[in-house]
Amino acid sequence: MESTELADVTTSTISAVAPVVHDMSMWGLFLSADFIVKAIIIGLLLASFWSWSIIFNKVMKLRSLAKEADTFEDQFWSGGSLEDLMQRVGKQAIDPMRTIFSAAMREWQQAEKSKDRLAATLPQRVERVMQVTMNRELEDLEKHLGFLATLGSTGVLVGLFGTVWGIINSFQSIAASHNTSLAVVAPGIAEALFATAIGLIAAIPAYVAYNKLSSEVNRYGTRLDSFMTEFGAIVSRRVEEGK
């Protein structure tokens, strides 16, 4: 009888001091995290998914615009009539370069009706129309890039806030249990650091993509500006020849 009671006491003692097994997988860390930490992780994951959709959309669009610009420039410099080119692409301006050309040609054609009075100011007006059109097209192309910049600069900080919040909760649990063993401390710290890891996962691609895409948009803007300068020179030359 005494040996049986001793065995029961030993078993209960071992059960009392046995460490609780924690699920240290990513899903387990998420499920065991505090509500605030969970909200931060979900927000960062949603922001990351949205940033990747923006990245893929911008990359594909910039590639398409580069190809369309190559095609249009070949047509523009083929030596054909600008009026004929306007008839072909004027109503189907599917990219910024064609849109700029169409806007400039419309201004040019409208000015032909009052050549005697307005020909002297035609190059300036055409240039202004092209500039306004280019600014509008580039503004549309740059849409959502600001989100990438914001996520790239603040994603880690948001994740760090989740980490700080989680660590505070961990220390409160340690104080309540009066147990500072690694088995007790590690799960809470891991849950807290998980938020920072998600913040890095969201912020790094967004930051790199923003720099790359901004550079590509600026390069494309320079290409549009060069086209505007060349077309403006053609308009000026036509005006001088018409005097």
pLDDT of residue 125: 86
Find out whether 89 and 103 touch, Cβ atoms under 8 Å: no
pLDDT of residue 47: 93
What tokens does 91 get? 């109503």
Q: What is the pLDDT averaged over residues 48-55?
A: 94
Q: Indicate whether 31 pLDDT > 80.
A: no
pLDDT of residue 179: 60
Average pLDDT over the chain reads 79
Q: Which helix (H) or strand (E) holds 36?
A: helix 35-76
Residue 243 DSSP SS3: coil
Location of structure tokens 């420039």: 73
Per cent of the chain over pLDDT 90 is 29
The predicted model scores a pTM of: 0.77
Domain residues of the chain, as ranges? 34-242
> Phi-psi region for residue 62, left (φ > 0), alpha (ψ -120 to 50) or beta?
alpha
pLDDT, tens digit, 9 for 90 and up, residues 206-235: 999 999 999 999 999 999 999 999 988 888
Find out whether 189 and 164 touch, Cβ atoms under 8 Å: no
pLDDT of residue 6: 42
Find out whether 62 and 192 touch, Cβ atoms under 8 Å: no
More reliable by pLDDT, 1 or 71: 71
What radius of gyration do the chain's Cα atoms show? 32
Find out whether 86 and 105 touch, Cβ atoms under 8 Å: yes
pLDDT, tens digit, 9 for 90 and up, residues 77-136: 887 788 888 888 766 767 899 889 988 888 888 877 765 555 667 788 888 999 999 999
Q: What is the pLDDT averaged over residues 28-35?
A: 62
